Amino acid sequence: MPSKRQPIFPRERDLLAQFGERLRLARLRRKIPAEALAERSSISRMTLHRAEHGSPAVSMGAYLRILAALHLQDDINLLAADDKLGRKLQDLELDSRAKE
């Protein structure tokens, strides 16, 4: 049974589109044809096309394989690396405990 399609908000759609464009530009700078990158990434040409256009239907695993084929896989470690909001919330909780 197919799962219920989740809504994607405009800001999220924009972020995915920008990410897809960066992947496309990285491929073009390396002069790698789309077919070759898809093969190196073990994905279909259509999945690569969707990723380069920021489709939310493309899995995180497919994005990671594309990054690896472009030798950019270590960039995945930059995602959510600096959780400013989480740290502030944690500090507020520590401050309230100290006052008790």
Identify whether 5 is part of a domain. Answer: no
Spatial neighbors of 52 by CB under 8 A, at least 6 apart, are 20, 21, 23, 24, 27, 34
Amino acid at 41: S
pLDDT digits (tens, 9 = 90+) for 56-97: 999 999 999 999 999 999 999 998 888 889 888 988 887 666
- The tally of domains found in the chain comes to 1
Domain that holds residue 32: 10-99
What is the number of other CB atoms lying within 10 angstroms of the CB of residue 90? Answer: 11
Cβ neighbours of residue 58 under 8 Å, at least 6 residues apart?
A: 47, 50, 51
Looking at residue 46, its pLDDT comes to 98
| pTM greater than 0.95 (yes/no) | no
**CATH for 53:** 1.10.260.40
